[in-house]
Amino acid sequence: MAIFYPLLILGLLGIFMGVVLSLANKYLAVVEDPRIDDIEALLPNYNCGACGTPGCRAFAVAILKGEVENLRKCKPGKVDKHFNPILEYLKDHPNPDGTYNNIKI
Ligand code: SF4
């Protein structure tokens, strides 16, 4: 009987923390632009940093923010294999406000 109260308290604490975490997951979730994953997948994914960003994901974010004027900043990237597919993707997926980023190869 002496173990009943500690188990009860631990059980209630577990339920409480579960509710808090599920509410935090629902209301504090950070919504990320799904295009970031797609553009990252189209990049070479060497994460070499030659483009001046910490990696391919950061370069994809910079592309979508309009901070990249020329895709050739990605030194290992190839025109046919990487840059043209990215430009095609961006034509089909404009910014949420309907604008297009002015990016060149
Ligand atoms: S230069 Fe290209 S491959 Fe290297 S981190 Fe930048 S985007 Fe990725």
User: What is the per-residue pLDDT across 24-62, written as a single tens digit (0 to 9) for each?
Assistant: 999 999 989 999 999 999 999 999 999 999 999 999 999
Please give the Cα distance from 16 to 82 (Å, whole number).
48
Domain with 14 in it: 1-30
pTM of the model: 0.77
Whether residue 41 sits in one domain with residue 23: no
Residue 102 has a pLDDT of 83
- Among protein residues, the one with the nearest Cα to ligand 1's atom 3 is 46
- Among protein residues, the one with the nearest Cα to ligand 1's atom 7 is 56
Residue 85 in domain: yes
Residue 61 in domain: yes
Residue 8 token pair: 């009860």
Residue 21 token pair: 């975490």
Whether residue 79 sits in one domain with residue 63: yes
Residue 78 in domain: yes
Whether residue 46 sits in one domain with residue 25: no
